[in-house]
Structure 1
Amino acid sequence: MIELTKRQLEIVNIIKKERIVSSSKIGQMLNVSSKTIRNEINEINSKCKSSYIVSEKGSGYKINSNLQVQINDEDSQLNRNFLILRDLLSKEEIDLYELAESLFISESTLLKSIQMLNEIIRKRNPNIQIQRNHNMLKLNGSEEKRRQVSTYFLMHELEEYNFDLKNYADFFSLFDLNILKELILEFNKEYHIKMKDVEVLSFVMHVAVMIDRILQGNEIIMPEYTQVDQSQKELAITFYKKLKNWLPIAMSESEINYLACLFAGKVSSQNKEQLEELGDFVKKVLQQIKDYYDIDLTEDEELIKNLQIHLMGLKNRIEHNTFLNNPLIADIRTHFPIMYDISIFFAVKIQEFFDTRLQEGEIGYLTLHFMGAVERLNSKIHKKIVVISPIGEAVNEYIRKRLSSVHELRIEICEILSIFDVEKIEEYKPDLVVSLMSIPKAISYPYYVCKELLSNQDIEHIYLELTNKKENEKNNIEHFFDNDLFFYDQCFENKDELLSYLCEQLCKKGYAKQDYLEKVLKREQIAPTAYGNLFAIPHPIEKCAVENKICICILKKPIIWSDKKVKIVFLFALTKEKNDKFDSMFTQMVSLLDNIDKVKKLVKTKTLIEFLAEFVQE
């Protein structure tokens, strides 16, 4: 086993990742000269007692694929795992020997890596594994489950490594980085500012670089259009006074505004056109990241705002050619390969957007923003549950298995308690209490009482409770309805008269074409759409509407629809394009209306607002 220095390991990893790369480019990445890189490569080859790294004239250095050299490098294992995972996610299956050859490792080393990857996956979802069939490797599981694997590894990166600020003390020779960190933590506590660990790290580094540049005689100039909230500016001024008590530092108005932006975590709406352009750019790239890496950060508003702030400052640094150094870059590149790779992807898009070239230090700050987003994502999907069960041990294994996976959530079952131990719930501070029977005592935590023994419907309700989607459910479906398409206390002789009227309303609003009634009636001839329980959901045999909409009609007196009484009608307008939310709501509607009591309550509503409120109510 060959022992290399940290810098030599970094050189080897860079060459492996780039496949072929010049000494000058490696030098730029490691902030050393080309001569130093060439000397290090000579030293590596000397330790390997062979030409492990070879030079290709006119191109650069590459790994000699004809040699198998065992290097003691745990960090290299992390990068290799990422490359294996990326290949498996991008292809249906992959040849074991071809993959080993492309990574310059033996088949046995690859299989050890696969074993390690499976252990990481198993902790989060025992139903997904990398499987070998003869010489082919495949990641099993549904597409939904496969897409969660990338997120698992982002979580793993954060869990497995902690930054020690002592390692970066030499970079800031003019002040003590740890004192700055403690000052920030005390200030956050005093003013009730909540930051997650990675957000604290990012904030410390941004402030540290700012102080270092000021002490060296450089000024941070914020764009003229940057306007900050007065309360955030007052916070920045207060923090600046604390800094002055510690360091002989003088900040300009522009620098205080920059500090206020860091505290705010948001941007002003002063220059709407500029901000909308940056916001649209960020959202577009986050969608591309979702498509390429299967990591969904598109709804993280805090990340979007943070990246907007970063891009505002970056635009200014580009104009003044004053890019930021980042002392964390080596550790970020080594220990967070997936997040660093995502940052590279984002940086390439930034370079195209601003027509510039970013230094690696700037890319490191992007990674810190993504790390914060992943930490927030982790807190969203990791949920703690306490179960109240009167049945005893016999059913506990079933409960654990049933709740082990609730969509994308990572469920931790803290305890399964009997009905007599309800007072113990407080010990676990759960996100939700799930009970298999009514709870006789009042509890201070959200709870859900199962209708059956953890049926599929129960699982869906538990998911809604854990994700707070229940309170947002009305907002999510509102755009499928229209006040002008809500009719109550109506009188019709029969279904044909009713359908003729409703289809006419859809056409008037431009949601359907003139032949819509004909297609709806054609569907009724095949089989009536009255489902019992006083409701009907008519729709065409094929999706042909202009826009997805639902027309609601509540009747004063029921009509006979085939052989069933109907008092509430939902006329669906469906477009050809697939809409998962609409499809999901259709299923949900049929399920809800199976409950005759629910239908009777809906029939009594007189406005769309009342209807939607009742519709999402349990």
Structure 2
Amino acid sequence: MNQEVREMIFSSNENMLINILNFEEYVSAKYLSETLYVSTKTIYRMIKKINELSLKENQKTLIVSEPGKGYKLNTIFRNQDIYSIVEFTEENSLNELVLALLFKHPKKVKRSVMDTQFLSDSTIERRLKKAAEILKNYAIQLKVDREYLWLIGEEIDLRKAINSIFLEMNKLNSLNEIGVEIHTIDKHFIDQQISLIEEMLGEYINYPYDITIYTHIFMIIKRYREGEVQYLGTQDPLEKEEQQLMEANPQIKQVSEQIITNIENYLTIKMSSLESYFVFQNIYSINSQKRESSNVDKKLAEEMTKRFILDYFSISDVSLLPSSRSLYEDLHQHILPMLSRLRAGIRVENNLLDDLMLEYRATFLKVKRIAEAINQELMFDTKMNDAEIGYLTLYFEKYKIDRQENKNVLLVCSTGVGTSELLKVRVQQNFPNLNIVATMSQRQMKKNQGFIYENIDLIFSTLRVPLTIEEIPVLNISPLLTDKDIQNINYTLNELDTT
């Protein structure tokens, strides 16, 4: 069967229903409902959905029924694998096509790029449709004619798409490199568990932590299916410190226990109580805000975060950096668990490193110089390596992109309210990406220095008196915003984007 058109991906309950059924004997709806703890109506709906998907893909129903007897599996599928193996390399070939288009923008790419993959015309059309759907998520349009492919979109959206697809490819490559061969239903189940962790902790799990948890859950499933769990009988029970750590992190403890319960239900098997702690360890090691760290690590993480920001931007106080809070939190949430890794001698992988050093070379080298200086002061045998520095580089690049997306502007005018409102409207009409935070007089400005340093990127002043605000550009413009003013603003914005 062609894996590209497979759509047979079921929920955990649907998969359990299929596992309960067999090819020989009928199973009643009542038994199914009692086993799965759902109503018989739900059983009917689940079977209807499974058969609709099976008919669409295989032209045969997977489950057959007989009045008064119940349900069993169709013997046609006895020697068939009803679930496709997820081809990570195949998924990445689509990402590679999208990246090729992104890197060539604004140039057009010949359609012949698709011919090298030896695909049929119908397959090419499907892949182009999928590529268009991926790009649509970033507000980018894929245009196609008989000879060429090209993109229409804003530079900021193109950069976001490149970063995001790099991360997705890295995740797929990581799974492929460790030899994971996973069925679609298992992938669907594990994806659900990752989503559950994110939901229960109230935060997104970034790479490479998602890979760590993903592969751990996969290996649990694989070991228990193959009966390779004898080693658990030789494991010592949890030590007092391990128990105390779990009690000090009740949310992570709760989600770990829930994940194990879900796997037990998924496999219909009872698992060792130690498994909850092993899952707990993996979740605890990620950059989770719910993670309770030692006071020493918290203090050190704060100092290192400030050091990176101050040295990178050559400023004396973090509050001088516009919208510094987002960058501070991103760096801090990476550095805090990083300290635990360095202390334990654990190194993370970064398959993005080569691409990242090529794409953001200047930023990487700048961050690396700061990291090397900090390394000399750290009392750990394991130091920050290029992989860790690469992740820190991404946070600085993310901050730059966020800043490019929406600059905060302060208007400085005389007391004429009507004039300032007219100017505000004119600026918003000509520069919709600028966010006019406030309008102040010169006297008000002097009283609100702290607010300005923290929240303002650019100042437009209609006053012909010199204004000196350290680190923040000031442009003198007309209250009517002339064409010359618009040119000056565009020039200044371009300069800011390149710094």
Normalising by structure 1, we get a TM-score of 0.32
The structure with the greater share of residues assigned to helix is 2
Normalising by structure 2, we get a TM-score of 0.38
Task: Give the number of the structure with larger relative contact order, counting CA–CA contacts within 8 Å between residues 6 or more apart.
Answer: 2
